[in-house]
Structure 1
Amino acid sequence: MEKEKFRIEIIDFLPHYKQFEVGKYADGTPACLGDVVHMNGREGNWFVAYRYGKVMLKQVGFMAMIGSLKIDNGDFSDVEKTNIIGAGMDYLIIGYTNEKLYQELKNKGVI
């Protein structure tokens, strides 16, 4: 049986911004899905996103994403949180309906 996928666009997620903590920044503040961060040595703004069971960083409009064990384990000490609230026509969350996050999103009315 094939797994069923689900997707949520950045713009559709905005009303739920700051509701899904995925780790901590170096200063101890919560890192959340949808946060916009800067990375040392990389240009542009990156979204804290979710792809098939892993937390990653993604730029709007680009296929490439950056993932690491540190980020996936909630350690965001290598990125700098911005005060930007971003939006764009791109997916922030892509996963399967049998993943834990799907149920959390459903319980909070995101899907």
Structure 2
Amino acid sequence: MMNALLFRKLRNEDIAEFVEMRKLQLLEEGALPTTDLTEPLRDYFRHALEKDRFVSWIALDDGKIVATSGMSFSRRPPYYSNPTGFVGTLSCMHTCHTGERGSPANCSMPSSRRPSSAIVEK
């Protein structure tokens, strides 16, 4: 029997694994790891979640994060097409690829484990 994917909002206890997924995403996008971003990313996500300046939905397979999303909220000086100045920026959009090896977040999902259904947790 196959497990269902679980979709839910990111929680503080997910941040360490989420940070590893973010670092993996940056590497896949071609970034050069010139410094260790672990602590700065943890700090950013902890504070941004606490202040409601970042929201993320994650997908979990057997308790492991296999897909991430994120939106950061900020405010700029108002302008004609945006009189409130509020802006949302999409980021942290990453999905583990089947057969991916050696990722920091242990992203591999063998084809025999591909979920056949999904559950959304509110």
Larger Rg over CA atoms: 2
Q: TM-score, normalised to structure 2's length?
A: 0.28
- Which structure has greater strand proportion? 1
Q: TM-score, normalised to structure 1's length?
A: 0.30
